[in-house]
Structure 1
Amino acid sequence: MTEIRQQDAATQIVRRLDRVVREVIRPARVRQRSPLSVSARRVGGEPVSFAEGTRGDVAPLAVGDAWGRAWDTVWMHVSGSVPGEWDARTAAAVELEIDLGFTTAQSGFQAEGLVYTTDGSVVRALSPLNHRLPLQAGPGAAIEYWVEAAANPTLNNAHGTNLIPLAHLGSWESAGEEEIYRFAGAHLVVPEAEVVALAHDVDLLRGIATNDGTDVRRRDLILTAIERMLAVLDPTDVAGTAAAARHQLTDVLTSPAHASAMTLTAVGHAHIDSAWLWPLRETIRKCARTFSNVVTLMEDNPDFVFACSSAQQFAWMKEHYPDLYARISDAVARGQFVPVGGMWVESDTNMPSGESLVRQFVAGQGFFMREFGIECPEVWLPDSFGYTGALPQIARSAGARWFFGQKMSWNRTNRMPHHTFTWEGIDGSRILTHFTPVDTYNSDLSPFELGYAHGNFADHGQFSGGIVPFGYGDGGGGPTREMLEAGRRAADVEGLPRVRFGAPSEFFAQAEAEVADADPATWAGEMYLELHRGTYSAQVRTKRGNRRAESLLREAELWAATAAVRTGAPYPADQLRRIWERTLLLQFHDILPGSSISWVHADAERMHAEDAAVLEQIIEFSLAALAGPGDRTITVNGSPFPRRDILALGAGEPAPERAEIALDRVGDHHVLRSPHLTLHIAADGTFVSLHDRDSDRQLFSAEHPGNVLALYQDIPTDWDAWDVDAHYRDLEIPVSGPVDVSIADDGSAQVLISREFGSSRVDQSVTLMPDRPVVDIVTTVHWHEQQRLLKLAQPFRIDAPTSSAETQFGHVHRPTHVNTSWDEARFEVVAHRWVHVSDGVVGAAVVNDSTYGHDVTRFPGDESSPGYRTQVRQTLVRGPLYPDPESDQGQHTFRSRLVITPDVAGAVEEAYDLDTPIRTVTGGRLSVPPVAQVFGDGVVLHTVKLAEDGSGDLIVRAYESLGRPARARFVINADGLHEVDILERPAGPVALTRERELELDLRAFQIVTLRGRPRS
């Protein structure tokens, strides 16, 4: 009973304190207040320049007036003067407060503003929890500013309902005419400094006292001091008694942290999604608002350090806000505004190709080195939805030593066992990794969050500290004065970890030193996020555009580099760089995953289409230069595995005769036959038999046929576009509509299948490859379902203990069983262009041209068809409602291949074949020698290009694809060949074995990049 009474007494003190803070202390933080005049000019539509926005008539804007339809911009003119009766001592304290109609429900995701001087210079931003601007203005001083106010739609109002319909999140044109904000006024205010300080003191002590980890004595001492403070504070004269009240708290505020307390490096941060619930154009303005806040805050706080990733966001500032960019550059030079990450954007890492991840660093590190002379030593990806096991090798080759993340704390099933550890990639490369123990990248440095970080940290025995990124993101304005005050008070106080402001590199250097003589724990391979699995499949058109861009960029660089070396044709470096930068931008972790509003995805589709057209022109120009004058028709293929039946530039051999595909009817079955396979297609469109003649194995059966469409209800618990939850499997919807199976009438030996269900239809064409054991399936989905999920299933008669799925520059093995909770959580996984299963003798791969989401399961057959099966399913399309209620409605075409191959080598080759179109060109040359070749089992020559520095050097990148050591022989038309990192800098000497040739021993999944001076 004594303990209960003590707890009750403590609760009563905290409740009393909360009321005093709410009703007495906070209202007394402002000593004086005076209104200003505001008038407004509505420009409508897309943003305009300062000159255009401030030119023209303005109308008065009073408190309570409505302004701004969704996505609109209103320019507000704020004017007045400091009251003459105010004391001159207010000159150093007066502040400009402008309230656009903010709610305090959240730090961002609503109206935002940017304050300008009358000459158009950016001052700082206005955001919900940070909308005061300190001034230096004495009595009678004139006040005049302009505010660019953005009526960005509020996601949720105070009642938790949508303020505007979701459809209005689609574009400015669809936003409707209703003005969605009410102006709350502009004032000059003078803070009461001692009362403000008292509020900070109380916030800190209350937080420590109520944290679960605070010991009883420390709690009681704090509560006793708070009681003394409350006894001294006079509610009728808060300003006059605040100093005396603060004095009662001195002892508990100055009690130092325990000797064993960890140290948290507080890094200013403002995670700004490069697009999400707003379009790309709005991100540019969000960056300007937040960055102006940051550099302004730095002027009075030289100890404040801010980390900013994404070279793209710096580049936007340089282009659109050159004056602000100059201030940022000065802060970078001082070491306060710290570029981090070394990437173009904080990209998704599940779906971009290996070359795309390479170019994220080529573009990002390149920008930071050119602009600031800085090479980022860390990767910075706190919000990406899981991390590919290919990343450690790519990051290390880009000069990174460290990796910072956070998102794995969102795991639904299993907890990551460490916060600071070594991450080992699929090739064996290692990188020191840290996940912030505060489990957020938007900390406010409150005692609760600091205490949580200390209690949550899993590696106290080996490491003494961690990183806490603090600041409001996504329009919240970044770090605030209040956060800096909270951090300073928590620098060395009993009951919390120590806090110091600093850069991420300071923490990582300390962590490296702490394990200089001991190895930390190691995590090997991919870090699969047990959440957001729907992002592998949402917004099919954006994903298809990305895959096509990656393929075309590879081709364009190959042919353009070959044409430049062989014919002297100009290399389109600037065009390629611009397209790469746009492709990298669209791989941001809320664009490529499909979790943005429809406006964003419409922009992505348009940009992909524009870039594809330019790349096709580059390819056409380069091939024409290579083919030379003449009227012969030459067939070319840019795959690393040139097909024997293609007369490619470089091959110079006649094409062999092609085998024919037989097509006939047996009962109600359509039967396709090639020299390798016999496929029976039933009247319902399923594959009831697939006989591999080479192994004499039957891969499907009537009881478990292939080519089965599976439709499910798809209503995740929390996040529509983001999530596919395991419970989707509980409700399968029969695909029981009309089915039509026929033969193509063009003589192409294709079986045509049409199925209807719900409001949708699926059309397929199926044929066999004449020269290899491959079934080619083209699936066109006319999709008009919502909150449903469509899969295409292939239950092979193969007992595979594991599956292999392509990832960047390699593949990853995953068990097909669910022995552990980690296995069970992987019910939906990502794969790039193929998934392969094998029993050690016979294997099969499902190859795709644009899908990423898959599931692979193992299950027993039945008495009539015994033996275990391994089912590979592609997730074709979904229909989430949020944040795009029309997500993926319409027509989509997917191309898949079923490849009978005992190991992954056949899958690798077939994926490149499907990825790379066969092209024809008219010219006179039958053969042009390739500029680079590689010979070695499983070694893929992926990239041929000219150097980024414009020197004209030839760059060749290859990788080992089969997951085993290999010897590779390179034949490259260049002198002075040497190995370089992915930033194209020397990585060590390479001895030539013969003229223009060299041999290298590669470890499993190793990437190698070579550089040399081309021979004419």
Structure 2
Amino acid sequence: MERIKRFIRELSESQWLEQREFRDWEIISSTYKLPGEYDDVAPYTAGGDYDLFPSKQGTTYFFRSRLEIPQDWLKSHVGLIFNCGGEGILRINGNSYQGLDRNHTFVTLGADVVGRPMELEIEMFDPIPEPVDPLNQQAVIQPPIRSIQSLIVSVNRPIQSLMYTATVIRDSAVLLPEQDFRRTRLIEALYIAMDEFVALDEEAIREGSLVKDIELRLKKKTGEIGGNAEGTIHMVGQSHIDIAWLWPVRETVRKTSRTFSTVDALMNEFPEYQYAQSQPQLFAYLKDNDPELYERVKDRIKEGRWELVGGMWVEPDLNIPSGESLMRQMLYGQRFYQEEFGMTSEIEWLPDTFGYCASLPQILKHGGIQYFMTTKLGWNDTNVFPYDLFHWVGIDGTPMLSYLNHGVNENTLPKDVHDHWQSFREKAKHNEQMLLYGHGDGGGGATREMLEYINRGDLMVGQPVSKYSNAAEFFAGITAASPELPEWRGDLYLELHRGTYTTHGRNKLNNRKAEVLYREAELWNTLAAPDMKPQQKLEASQSLHDGWKLILLNQFHDIIPGSAITETYVTSMKEYAEIFEHGNKGLAQGLELLAGQVNTEGEGTPYIIFNSLGWSRDAVIEIASENELTGQAVYDGEGTRLGMDITTNDANTAWVRVPNVPALGYKTIWLRNEKDAAVLVHSNTKHEISLSKEWETEYYRIRFNDLGEIVSLFDKTANRETIKPGESANRLHFFHDRPTLWDAWDIDTRYEEQPAGDAELLEMKLLSSGTIRDVLRFRWKLNQSEITQDMILYHHDGRIDFKTKVNWNESHKLLKVGFPVDVVTDKATYEIPFGALERPTHRNTSWEQAQYEVCGHRFADVSERGYGVSLLNDCKYGYDIQGSTIRLSLLRAPKWPDVTADLGEHEFTYSLYPHMEDWRQAHTLRKAAELNHAPVVVAAQNKQGSLPNMQSLIQFSGQHVILDTVKPSEDGTGSILRFYESAGGRETVELNWPQACTEIFHSNALEQEMDVIDHVGGRIELQFTPYEIKTIKINY
């Protein structure tokens, strides 16, 4: 075979009829800041030596010149070779023509530009390398520009074609067994072609007709020797583009133009080439920054060759965003596709996301998705995921036809086809598979070589048929064949990247707070809408719309997991500031309009407390005043004096307990002067009150050890101990955290074998003790870090809050907090988007052992019959529960790819909630929601109003059915309400909508009107099955 390899190499060396160096470039250097914005623009002199080009990484170069193809070349195939490393784009006469990168150094100059003078501009970026991975010395960014090859070539197409044909036949032959007669005959056919070629003189080679004849005979002989094996592979072009990772988001704007222009250029050359692209955000970038190319892409979509996949705005993380965030990913993504291209996608395309929550099938169906594709489960570090083609069944019973592709960014040579087919485990049930070819992440997608190999799929003797196709054709074939496929129930847990539930905790905090804020803003704006002017509605809608787009962008699967470079998070913090500005503006507008209608007449200064949750709640609020609040008392509208605490170190601030704030409504209270007003509560600032190692409230008797850990938590309501005997709770677990491969992503299996020391208690004191709550303060020193924690014990509620501040200065460390509770169970329950999921607490099998860190949202719970304990949080996601020890991951300290990850100040709260019965009967979800959704307090003026001083604005009867979303509809004709059943049961609820309406429809994430719902004056009844999501649209 060595002679055949040499033959193919000689063909490669003969593929240019003529080549000329082209170095007549004007070069400009600059620094790219934002799309269309460049600094430090200056002429650049290479000294005429392109073989030694002293580039500086991070620089963008503009190469500009004028080119006219020689007249004697016009009848041949002409191309430009520009090879220097880096990532760039060629523009001809001002229009994006083709991307240039390590995989695409040749540009075909087509008939549309050849024959007249061309103004050339190459924008070439010398990428900035990511920081070195201190654990593994990983380097993903390509080496810097050091030399430039710049040529104009005339192409010998017959030689090129023979080269591709010989390559495919040779590679097919070596895949066959050595004793297979087809292998022998294929090699013999190649030798004959080689001998015939060697006999040609130079003129015959240049002229080409005899070369074509050699290729035709070689193809004919190959066809006679044998054909394809049984089976079909759908060859689908793609280019997986991370919106941020080892580059910032602003660079992805340029990566998009480079890749999309390359796809368009190749479609000009290869009429059968089809390409699939996800992430509407990328199309939006193109529309805003390269409108001429965007119009060409739209034409390709109309042709049916450019396929829209992935209905979500970006390819998000599927563990951390809330259920409503995932709905908005669908709404914004599919709506963009519909408005821009006149269609939506039925295929959710998530090749690289780090696991998939168990409620996702129903969420996707709600967004018009019928099929699901991933590749990531092939990365499992412990168990091989058993299926490639299967029905994934969600927690509510919704099935989703799903496909696990083995790899992404693949090639199309016979070995790639062979290996891909061999990896397919469901071929006995369905003998068609999909292969995703093309280079990703700025690699430009498919290459000419890949397409030439697909064109020769019929020459791949012994391999399945490979053909140009698209994902829709592949999935439609499965649907039509209706094979009997296996089922997978529960989440698609990725046995890798478990650290992404915790890394970059501030980013996760911002996401949670943004999700909460936008829910509140939309709810109150919707209820205030009848009193808004049209311009107010428009401005509020646009402001929240812009904020949501930034929330969705920052949920991309390398941003919110914490696995991108430093600049990504600097930008993200700025964007969250903008998100909060939009959200707070919208919230203030809605509350101001509603509060302005409330009758607040009464003695004293009125305050209106708004409750966005679907149940009446006891609210503890903070009132701040310019004057001291001593000598003041608080009353509600019924004349009941409310509990109020004022700490001696801050007499201008009071804590007030406001019972029974109506569901989805408000309650007014009044602050007034009174002689026998609240007494100052204890404070260590002015009173030397020491905290013994015991403390007691109406709910608990608590004992602490010398480290400030809880060694006994006696539940007086249940008359039993909560903490396992001999153990300590609220214990800080500190570990060395040095992953084998992926620093920011992974927590390795053996981390528990590498403890990093214990916390040293610096201080334990009583901060305050009053009628509403007691606050015990603890301070610990932990290695290079310091932790300050207020343990808050309420006198009206069994929830215990641990409000925590950490000054984190660690490297490769993991911090957890643990609660070993005295509960016997072999399963734990975790909140997930729009539902809950049970997981085993034992490690019987390798599948359970691999899930030593799992994702949960606002709570996790362990319960036995009659009693249980829930651990709640306001921004954390990583849990591990073994036996009945609940642990929550608090902080990590990776150094790659962001050396600054998580350093500095953190604030978060976790809460312990011991309860009677199980989590459903104890309404753990309500407690978690109350922790996350603080009541909103509006200072008001005494005045008459059309609304009573206390009421529910929406009458809703749900117990375990949650009214999660109330928002204006995108079309402006009504309101959207979204509900979900949260506890895995059946329930019928009633809703009474307060605004006059004409029609009410069942709807979906895309806000389409479906079945009519009968109503009487806005009153409706809805039936829910376990974990069912329902959306309704109310028209006015």
Give the TM-score taking structure 2 as reference length. 0.87
Measured after TM superposition, the shift of residue 376 of structure 1 is 0.8
Identify if the C-alpha distance between structure 1 residues 491 and 966 changes in structure 2 by more than 3 Å, giving closer, same or farther: farther
Measured after TM superposition, the shift of residue 640 of structure 1 is 3.0
Q: Following the alignment from structure 1 to structure 2, what is the Cα–Cα distance between the partners of residues 79 and 713?
A: 59
Deviations 1:748-780 (A, max 9, x none): 621111111221122211121222211100122
Q: Following the alignment from structure 2 to structure 1, what is the Cα–Cα distance between the partners of residues 254 and 786?
A: 42
Q: Which residue of 2 aligns with 1:386?
A: 355
Q: Check if 1:77 corresponds to 2:61.
A: no
Query: Equivalent residue of 2:751, what SS?
Result: helix
Q: Could you tell me which of 958, 968, 976 is aligned with 1:955? A: 976
What code does the residue aligned with 2:21 have? P
Q: Check if 1:217 corresponds to 2:190.
A: no
Identify if the C-alpha distance between structure 1 residues 78 and 213 changes in structure 2 by more than 3 Å, giving closer, same or farther: farther
Deviations 1:808-855 (A, max 9, x none): 100111001112111111011011111111112211111111111111
Alpha carbons 2:25, 2:63 under 8 Å: kept: yes
Alpha carbons 1:378, 1:402 under 8 Å: kept: yes
Q: Could you tell me which of 432, 443, 448 is aligned with 2:410? A: 443
Q: Following the alignment from structure 1 to structure 2, what is the Cα–Cα distance between the partners of residues 910 and 741?
A: 27
What code does the residue aligned with 2:547 have? I
Q: Check if 1:907 corresponds to 2:924.
A: yes
Query: Equivalent residue of 1:348, what SS?
Result: coil
Q: Which residue of 1 aligns with 2:574?
A: 606
Alpha carbons 2:312, 2:330 under 8 Å: kept: yes
Deviations 1:379-431 (A, max 9, x none): 11111111111111111111111111111111111122221111111111111
Query: Equivalent residue of 1:31, what SS?
Result: strand
Q: Following the alignment from structure 1 to structure 2, what is the Cα–Cα distance between the partners of residues 718 and 426?
A: 33
Measured after TM superposition, the shift of residue 737 of structure 1 is 3.5
What code does the residue aligned with 2:87 have? E
Q: Which residue of 2 aligns with 1:936?
A: 958
Q: Following the alignment from structure 2 to structure 1, what is the Cα–Cα distance between the partners of residues 836 and 220?
A: 59
Q: Following the alignment from structure 2 to structure 1, what is the Cα–Cα distance between the partners of residues 138 and 154?
A: 34
Q: Following the alignment from structure 1 to structure 2, what is the Cα–Cα distance between the partners of residues 344 and 220?
A: 52
Q: Which residue of 2 aligns with 1:916?
A: 933
Q: Following the alignment from structure 1 to structure 2, what is the Cα–Cα distance between the partners of residues 660 and 941?
A: 40
Alpha carbons 1:658, 1:770 under 8 Å: kept: no
Q: How does 1:399-410 map to 2 (within 5 A)?
A: 399-410=368-379
Q: Check if 1:972 corresponds to 2:993.
A: yes
Q: Which residue of 2 aligns with 1:641?
A: 615
Measured after TM superposition, the shift of residue 670 of structure 1 is 3.5
Q: Check if 1:783 corresponds to 2:797.
A: no
Identify if the C-alpha distance between structure 1 residues 661 and 896 changes in structure 2 by more than 3 Å, giving closer, same or farther: farther
Q: Following the alignment from structure 1 to structure 2, what is the Cα–Cα distance between the partners of residues 761 and 265?
A: 57
Deviations 1:60-79 (A, max 9, x none): 65413435433321111134
Q: Check if 1:536 corresponds to 2:550.
A: no
Q: Following the alignment from structure 1 to structure 2, what is the Cα–Cα distance between the partners of residues 128 and 405?
A: 26
Alpha carbons 1:397, 1:982 under 8 Å: kept: yes
Query: Equivalent residue of 2:693, what SS?
Result: strand
Q: Could you tell me which of 846, 851, 874 is aligned with 1:821? A: 846
What code does the residue aligned with 2:919 have? V
Identify if the C-alpha distance between structure 1 residues 802 and 268 changes in structure 2 by more than 3 Å, giving closer, same or farther: same
Q: Which residue of 1 aligns with 2:325?
A: 356
Give the TM-score taking structure 1 as reference length. 0.89
Q: Following the alignment from structure 1 to structure 2, what is the Cα–Cα distance between the partners of residues 215 and 798?
A: 65
Q: Following the alignment from structure 1 to structure 2, what is the Cα–Cα distance between the partners of residues 143 and 32?
A: 20
Query: Equivalent residue of 1:732, what SS?
Result: coil
What code does the residue aligned with 2:847 have? W
Q: Which residue of 2 aligns with 1:798?
A: 823
Q: Could you tell me which of 317, 324, 330 is aligned with 2:299? A: 330
Alpha carbons 1:81, 1:140 under 8 Å: kept: yes
Measured after TM superposition, the shift of residue 568 of structure 1 is 5.8
Aligned length in residues: 957
Q: Which residue of 2 aligns with 1:149?
A: 124
Query: Equivalent residue of 1:66, what SS?
Result: coil
Measured after TM superposition, the shift of residue 991 of structure 1 is 2.7
Alpha carbons 2:29, 2:42 under 8 Å: kept: no
User: Sequence identity of aligned pairs in percent?
Assistant: 29
Alpha carbons 1:389, 1:525 under 8 Å: kept: yes
Q: Which residue of 2 aligns with 1:896?
A: 910
Query: Equivalent residue of 1:551, what SS?
Result: helix
Q: Could you tell me which of 436, 460, 472 is aligned with 2:439? A: 472
Query: Equivalent residue of 1:962, what SS?
Result: coil
Q: Following the alignment from structure 1 to structure 2, what is the Cα–Cα distance between the partners of residues 788 and 55?
A: 45
Q: Which residue of 1 aligns with 2:756?
A: 733
Q: Which residue of 1 aligns with 2:481?
A: 514
Q: Could you tell me which of 887, 900, 908 is aligned with 1:873? A: 887
Alpha carbons 1:66, 1:181 under 8 Å: kept: yes
Identify if the C-alpha distance between structure 1 residues 934 and 67 changes in structure 2 by more than 3 Å, giving closer, same or farther: farther
Alpha carbons 2:130, 2:565 under 8 Å: kept: no
Gaps of 5+ in 1: 1-12, 103-110, 170-174, 859-869
Identify if the C-alpha distance between structure 1 residues 679 and 218 changes in structure 2 by more than 3 Å, giving closer, same or farther: farther
Query: Equivalent residue of 1:363, what SS?
Result: helix
Measured after TM superposition, the shift of residue 553 of structure 1 is 0.8
Q: Could you tell me which of 847, 872, 896 is aligned with 2:872? A: 847
Measured after TM superposition, the shift of residue 291 of structure 1 is 0.4
Q: Following the alignment from structure 1 to structure 2, what is the Cα–Cα distance between the partners of residues 696 and 70?
A: 67
Alpha carbons 1:153, 1:163 under 8 Å: kept: no
Q: Which residue of 2 aligns with 1:183?
A: 147
Q: Could you tell me which of 733, 746, 749 is aligned with 1:723? A: 746
Q: Which residue of 2 aligns with 1:96?
A: 80
Q: Check if 1:586 corresponds to 2:517.
A: no
What code does the residue aligned with 1:942 have? D
Measured after TM superposition, the shift of residue 30 of structure 1 is 2.2
Measured after TM superposition, the shift of residue 678 of structure 1 is 2.5
Identify if the C-alpha distance between structure 1 residues 508 and 717 changes in structure 2 by more than 3 Å, giving closer, same or farther: same
Q: Following the alignment from structure 1 to structure 2, what is the Cα–Cα distance between the partners of residues 749 and 203?
A: 78
Q: Following the alignment from structure 1 to structure 2, what is the Cα–Cα distance between the partners of residues 488 and 388?
A: 39
Q: How does 1:664-813 map to 2 (within 5 A)?
A: 669-701=692-724, 703-744=726-767, 749-813=774-838
Alpha carbons 1:668, 1:682 under 8 Å: kept: no
Deviations 1:173-215 (A, max 9, x none): xx9xxx9422313110122223322321233223323337898
Gaps of 5+ in 2: 620-657, 672-676
Deviations 1:933-969 (A, max 9, x none): 4213211111011101122x02111111111111222
Q: Following the alignment from structure 1 to structure 2, what is the Cα–Cα distance between the partners of residues 660 and 235?
A: 106
What code does the residue aligned with 2:61 have? V
Q: Which residue of 2 aligns with 1:123?
A: 97
Measured after TM superposition, the shift of residue 54 of structure 1 is 9.4
Q: Check if 1:347 corresponds to 2:316.
A: yes
Q: Following the alignment from structure 1 to structure 2, what is the Cα–Cα distance between the partners of residues 507 and 702?
A: 58
Deviates more, 1:137-146 or 1:817-826: 137-146
Deviations 1:624-665 (A, max 9, x none): 111117662212232333413444683447799999999999
Alpha carbons 1:156, 1:163 under 8 Å: kept: no
Deviates more, 1:69-78 or 1:363-372: 69-78
Query: Equivalent residue of 1:554, what SS?
Result: helix
Identify if the C-alpha distance between structure 1 residues 307 and 842 changes in structure 2 by more than 3 Å, giving closer, same or farther: same
What code does the residue aligned with 1:221 have? R
Q: How does 1:428-507 map to 2 (within 5 A)?
A: 428-436=397-405, 439-491=406-458, 493-507=460-474
Q: Which residue of 1 aligns with 2:289?
A: 320
Q: Could you tell me which of 621, 625, 628 is aligned with 2:589? A: 621
Measured after TM superposition, the shift of residue 677 of structure 1 is 2.3
Deviates more, 1:264-273 or 1:205-214: 205-214
Alpha carbons 1:40, 1:61 under 8 Å: kept: no
Q: Which residue of 2 aligns with 1:27?
A: 13
Query: Equivalent residue of 1:271, what SS?
Result: coil
Query: Equivalent residue of 2:574, what SS?
Result: helix
Measured after TM superposition, the shift of residue 91 of structure 1 is 3.6
Q: Which residue of 2 aligns with 1:574?
A: 542
Query: Equivalent residue of 2:924, what SS?
Result: helix
Query: Equivalent residue of 1:527, what SS?
Result: coil
Identify if the C-alpha distance between structure 1 residues 1012 and 83 changes in structure 2 by more than 3 Å, giving closer, same or farther: closer
Query: Equivalent residue of 2:151, what SS?
Result: strand
Identify if the C-alpha distance between structure 1 residues 701 and 393 changes in structure 2 by more than 3 Å, giving closer, same or farther: closer
